[in-house]
Amino acid sequence: MADLYQLANLQKIYLDRTVVTIDSLSIQRGEFLAIVGPSGAGKSTLLRLLNFLEAPTSGHLTFDGQPVPSAPPLSLVRRVTTVFQRPALLSRSVRENVAFGLRLRGLHPDGAVTQALERVGLAGLGTVTATTLSGGEMQRVALARALVLNPDVLLLDEPTANLDPYNVNLIETLVREETSRRGTTIVFVTHNVFQARRLAHRVGLMLNGALIELAPTVDFFDSPRDPRTAAFVKGEMVY
Amino acid sequence: MANFSSIVLLSLYVSGSALLIASLIGLPIGASLALKPPRAHKIIELIIYTGMGLPPVVVGLFVYLLISRSGPLGWLGWLFTPTAMIAAQVIIALPLVIGLTLTAVQSVDPQLRLQVRSLGASPAQVMRTILWEARLGVVAALLTAYGRLAAEVGAVMLVGGNIQGSTRVLTTSIVLETRQGNFELALALGGVLIVLTFMANFFLVRLSGQTRG
């Protein structure tokens, strides 16, 4: 698989605090990469950098073979989208929420919206105000809103935290399908090491903004090279 | 009666035009300030909040000095015209519209802004979406500004001159009739002013209610 992202000596600094510092990271086209680590490790900041919502303070970030400028064009930003832990929905109907990204692009394909709602099991709730749904349903709306865009890269920032097993299973199934059917590149941030093991091709551990270890899933869990990875995987790391 | 209706219509024209102009300028400024990092606009915010408490009569004095025959804008010939009254009221309403829009937009979940950008919104699309999400607060900003303009007397009196058939509005008429001892007429005019303000509020609240959800 060819590299879609390449990060080299990348740093993100807020005021005088370094939140992300990555010496080297390549993300391959079509791969499912999970990033695990404690809160405050810089995982969400890394996703914002990968979505081009923030520019790195220093270092190199290339996407699809091209260096990413500090003010990336909209056409580039629109190839990537994020589903956050808390589904930030608009106070509009479920259908309008799902159609939102398409409308931003000047498109009005009602069929795609209907199909996306069917995929997440919310076909009957299209006219309901999105912010009145349950937590699991809201997150499924957020996922449908991202999937309907057919992005090259789907970034997921702990999308199943605080959800019940039914919704966790549904969302996991949908994102797994997205990689296998469409070849969408997925970067999935999670606290849950079991979830990372179930879903990802490769897993990376972030601590204090740095990528401590990145390895194929089996190696990451069965034969970690770094003692901190071993401690994290075994649940011995207190954070 | 014709005189009375012209006073009512002029009142609506002056305050309505001022509100419209202040909204066209103030809504995008308030929204764009709110979407910037807070430290970038602390001083501007302070100036705007000070402007929200600006005494209308002082605004009237400044505008009077600007557009009086010997003032820097005297060549416009605006003194004692409805245009001068609108200009003064725009200055009164602008800090209110900017400041209250800023507060309304700041109250929208910051993650929603990030989410909207992540879904591919351009800066203008982000602003439109967040303004829409903050619409109840924005309507409250417009209502507050309209209430202040409709009740305002100092500035319109100074720059308009309360000329019958030309620049006389409800508030200046009430002052005049009270001074002349025509209390019944002054009270009737006051009643009309309150009804008009109520109708404007009712219209805007209904509008925001219909667009909610």
Tell me the domain boundaries of chain A.
1-79+184-239
Over chain A, what is the mean pLDDT? 92
- A81 contact residues in B (CB cutoff 8 A): 118-120
Q: Check CB contact under 8 Å for A91 and B213.
A: yes
High-pLDDT (> 90) share of chain B, %: 69
Assess contact for B92 and B149: CB atoms under 8 A: yes
* Three-state secondary-structure class, residue B147: helix
pLDDT at B146: 92
pLDDT of residue A109 exceeding 80 = no
- What is the share, in percent, of chain B residues with pLDDT greater than 70? 96
Domains for chain B: give ranges and CATH numbers: 2-210 (1.10.3720.10)
- Tell me, what's the pLDDT at B61? 95
Whether the pLDDT of residue A105 is over 60: the answer is yes
Q: What is the mean pLDDT of residues B60-85?
A: 95
Say if strands A17-28 and A3-14 run parallel, antiparallel, or are unpaired.
Answer: antiparallel
Q: Which amino acid is at B73?
A: L
Mean pLDDT across B85-113: 94
Average pLDDT score over residue span A184-202: 94
- Give the amino acid at A126: G
Could you say which residues from 77 to 96 on chain A have a Cβ atom under 8 Å away from some Cβ of chain B? 77-78, 80-82, 84, 86, 88, 90-93
Question: Given A104, A129, A142, which is nearest B125 (Cβ)?
Answer: A104
A145 shares contact with chain B (CB less than 8 Å): yes
CB nearest to B119's CB, from A81, A92, A129: A81
What CA–CA distance (Å, rounded) separates A187 from A25? 12
How many Cα atoms within 13 Å fall on the side-chain side of residue A107?
Answer: 14
The mean per-residue pLDDT over the stretch B18-45 comes to 88
CATH topology of domain A1-79+184-239: Rossmann fold (3.40.50)
Confidence (pTM)? 0.81
- Using the predicted structure, report yes or no on whether residue B149 has a pLDDT greater than 90: yes
Q: What is the pLDDT of residue A239?
A: 60
Mean pLDDT in residue range A71-83 = 95
Rounded to the nearest angstrom, the minimum Cα separation between B207 and chain A is 16
Q: Are B97 and B30 in contact (CB under 8 A)?
A: yes
